[in-house]
Structure 1
Amino acid sequence: MKFKKMSEQILNNMGGVSNITHVEHCATRLRIHYKSKQEVHEEEIKKIENVVGIVSKTGQLQVIIGPSVHEAYKDFMEVSQFDAKDSDKHSEEKPIEETDEKKNFLYYVNKFGNFSAAIFMPVVPALIVGGLILAIKNLLVNYFNVPMESGTALLMTAIFSAGFSFLPVYLGYTTAKRLKIEPVMGAFLGCLLVSQNISGATKLDFIGISIPNIDYNGSILPVIMGVFVMYYIDRLLEKVIPEAIKYFLKPLLTMVLVVPIVLIILGPLGTNLSVYAGNAVMFLMDTVGGIALPFLSALYPYMVMLGFDKALSPIGFAAVESLGYDPVYVVMGFISNLCIGGTALAVATSMKDKGKKGMTYSFAFTALCGVTEPAFYGALISRPKVLIGTAAGAVSAGLVAGVFGLKSYVMGFCPGLLTALFFVEPDGKMGNMILAAIVVLVAVTVSFVVTKIIVAKTESSETIETKEKVPMENI
């Protein structure tokens, strides 16, 4: 247990397991929901070894660990002996203390972002693997004479399909888990939607009511909205069904009530909303893409810091679903992560302490690969001036990407050099990939050079100020 000591210290400073209502994690953060803020010692948690930083939210503390967060999560759950199945019981013992945070627009954006993170982040590994496998298959077919009908190509296509076509199954499970109803029921609804008897099927009806013909493979909104309906029906049935027959009657009635609502109402509604979102993205890029993308890329690190980036992820999913590509969400994250990596590289080359230098180099490499929290919190945020270099790189690379129309053909999280194959076109053409390479060069080079200039000027001014100070003994 690599993170045993860290877990023990975090648990003690969170007020113990009795003060915890829910524990989850995203790509880099351990998210701990608590009851009483008075029992949480944030400053002490910041000092714990392996903790890069913290983000405090209403009723939740996000402990930034880095790429090893999954291992840290397992160790924390083992040390705390916190049982996720009892989270409902824990949360009912005592209401979460609300802070003085005003429930304004940003408050609700933050709440939506936290919910989006909880349902999308567990699916990330499948999306990354599926996207990369598809890109590799396209390269093999178009440039290495691998037949499209070969077993290798068909197997790789099947892996991609397992990641993306069955997305409603994964999201059904994670959404139900987040809403604290039986997760397998959400997955059950997702399986129904992607089954060959429902997805794309014609001449379907329910007691004479026609069911629209919709392809649910890779869809997002229908299953999420369906699980929300399932949540309220589940709560209602929980109250009215006798305990003796609840085990088999509640899931039966739940599906009998939910399925017609999803297929007749929510399925068409969710599909149309995805189309509208895709059209809105295209309108944005066609009208102000050259301005919007640089601006969003420069703001992206702060969106990640505040958790707002997850609130925008459904737009990326909707764009890929309706347009076949995403010109905004993955692209701005790709640019921003590269710029943070370039800035961290510049900071590392300017350090004299060998220990800190090596650590910052590792932070920079991790950022270039798509995970920026270690670099942002561990090396950059304490040197706010160097973030000008990050912004300069993001604006420059964003202009190139926006003007020439860089697109990601796979929706994913933590975009970086390791996920660059997301930019390979479905037909295997390399034009978009070459553009992505140019964007990488611009982002890293500009952020690195500007940061080096800022660091050099900062060190020079500090040296001058030190020399001009009059020693205390001469006063």
Structure 2
Amino acid sequence: MSNYRDMANDILKDIGGKDNVINVNHCATRLRIQYKAKDQIDDNSVSKIEGVAGTVIRDDEYQIVIGTDVANVYNEFVKSIGDVSNNKSSNIKFTWKHLGQTIIDFISGTFVPILGVLVAAGLVSAVLNIGVSFFGLSTKSGTYTILNGIYEAGYYFLPVYLGYSAAKKLNMNPMMGAFLGATLVYKTIDSAKGLEFLGLSVPQIQYNTSVIPILLGVLFMKLIDVGMDKITPKSIKFFTKPLITMLIVVPVTLLWLGPLGFQIGTIIANILSFVNLKLGWISVGLMGALTPLLVMTGTNQALFPLCIASVASIGYDAFVLPGMLSANVAVGAAALAVSVTTNESKKKQLA
């Protein structure tokens, strides 16, 4: 569908307007809307909107299946609803379920925008391998150097992309998150030996391609950002707020949060490797079988940091991504079978 604005407005109208929206996000194919009142949603009308392939209501989240155009619809939807922060209830009781949903929402909102970078970088690597193996591309040529630069930049500066995306998700200036990520991968800080700050020894950590350290750093930055907003006079906030924020966040990240995140990432990668080694192909099969359920519930988003942590630690992921690949191939085969066997034109197109 070409008119994404009309589609977004139709969806907004049929779910009860912006006053019924608490938060909105999206994954690869679905617009995910947290709502206040279920009875205000006209699911039948939403399902009939051109471009909507289906809907799912799960707990307090309304999922609208759109397909690969979901990002365009999301952008128009966000413009239509504006600021909905006042829609959140101030007396929400803490539950582990709510905490889990909040964590998954943060991870999803942070990682989905950068998936295009990771996909492009990975495919360029595949093109390089094919060029070298089958077409005689020299590893010393300028062509190889440029293409390899695209691949390396996609992963080497991962903390910068994640810093920007995470800060934007937390409603901060995204450039401050990118600034923190760039600081971590700067040549005199990343993997630096014998570094110290005010007499405190800074652990030697490789931050390029890392995931969890920058996420912890940006979360801490959010706390400082909120505090600085409360105590900084408006007349000097423009220059004092970013200055003091970075002077606090960078040392704390380098001294404690970064090493903690690195250790968490290493532990996660080791656990995944252990499960894969002990269960072998069964572990991949289980992941493949669970993937459709994970996607429907949105919990697949929580696996992105695990995959990247594994790649950063041991160079590959032999568990999660192969399982998801097998699931996607199976779902694709099922959709292909439907498209071949059905006589309904709309269902054939959807398949």
Under a length normalisation based on structure 1, what TM-score does the superposition of the two structures give?
A: 0.69
Larger radius of gyration: 1
Name the counterpart of 2:18.
Answer: 17
Instruction: Return the offset for 1:216.
Output: 0.9
Task: State whether residues 25 and 32 of structure 2, in contact with CA within 8 Å, keep that contact through their aligned partners in structure 1.
Answer: yes
Instruction: Return the offset for 1:293.
Output: 1.8
Name the counterpart of 1:69.
Answer: 70
Q: Distance in 2 between matches of 1:142 and 1:211?
A: 43
Name the counterpart of 1:457.
Answer: none
Q: Distance in 2 between matches of 1:158 and 1:76?
A: 36
Q: Distance in 2 between matches of 1:260 and 1:58?
A: 41
Gaps of 5+ in 2: none
Instruction: Return the offset for 1:8.
Output: 2.5
Task: State whether residues 278 and 318 of structure 1, in contact with CA within 8 Å, keep that contact through their aligned partners in structure 2.
Answer: yes
Instruction: Return the offset for 1:346.
Output: 2.2
Mark the CA change 1:327 to 1:256 in structure 2 (over 3 Å): closer, same or farther: same
| Correspondences of 1:28-427 after superposition (within 5 Å) | 28-57=29-58, 59-77=60-78, 80=80, 82-83=81-82, 87=83, 90-92=84-86, 95=89, 103-104=95-96, 108-353=99-344, 355-356=345-346, 358-360=348-350, 363=351
Task: State whether residues 28 and 70 of structure 2, in contact with CA within 8 Å, keep that contact through their aligned partners in structure 1.
Answer: yes
Mark the CA change 1:357 to 1:50 in structure 2 (over 3 Å): closer, same or farther: closer
Instruction: Return the offset for 1:178.
Output: 1.3
Query: Which structure is richer in relative contact order (CA contacts within 8 A, separation 6 or more)?
Result: 1
Q: Distance in 1 between matches of 2:38 and 2:239?
A: 40
Mark the CA change 1:38 to 1:97 in structure 2 (over 3 Å): closer, same or farther: farther
Instruction: Return the offset for 1:104.
Output: 4.9
SS of the residue corresponding to residue 243 of structure 1 reads coil
Under a length normalisation based on structure 2, what TM-score does the superposition of the two structures give?
A: 0.92
Q: Distance in 2 between matches of 1:350 and 1:93?
A: 46
Mark the CA change 1:346 to 1:94 in structure 2 (over 3 Å): closer, same or farther: closer
Q: Distance in 1 between matches of 2:48 and 2:127?
A: 43
Query: RMSD value over aligned CA atoms?
Result: 2.3
Alpha-carbon deviations, 1:30-56, whole Å to 9, x = none?
Answer: 233444444333343223221112233
SS of the residue corresponding to residue 55 of structure 1 reads strand
Task: State whether residues 30 and 64 of structure 2, in contact with CA within 8 Å, keep that contact through their aligned partners in structure 1.
Answer: yes
Task: State whether residues 31 and 66 of structure 2, in contact with CA within 8 Å, keep that contact through their aligned partners in structure 1.
Answer: yes
Gaps of 5+ in 1: 364-475
Mark the CA change 1:42 to 1:103 in structure 2 (over 3 Å): closer, same or farther: farther
Q: Distance in 1 between matches of 2:214 and 2:249?
A: 11
Q: Distance in 2 between matches of 1:36 and 1:97?
A: 16
Task: Give the % identical residues.
Answer: 38
**What is the aligned length?**
350
SS of the residue corresponding to residue 57 of structure 2 reads strand
Q: Distance in 2 between matches of 1:69 and 1:92?
A: 25
Give the AA of the match of 2:86.
Answer: E
Q: Distance in 1 between matches of 2:9 and 2:101?
A: 29
Instruction: Return the offset for 1:148.
Output: 1.2
Alpha-carbon deviations, 1:218-275, whole Å to 9, x = none?
Answer: 1101100001111111111211122221121111111111111110111111111111
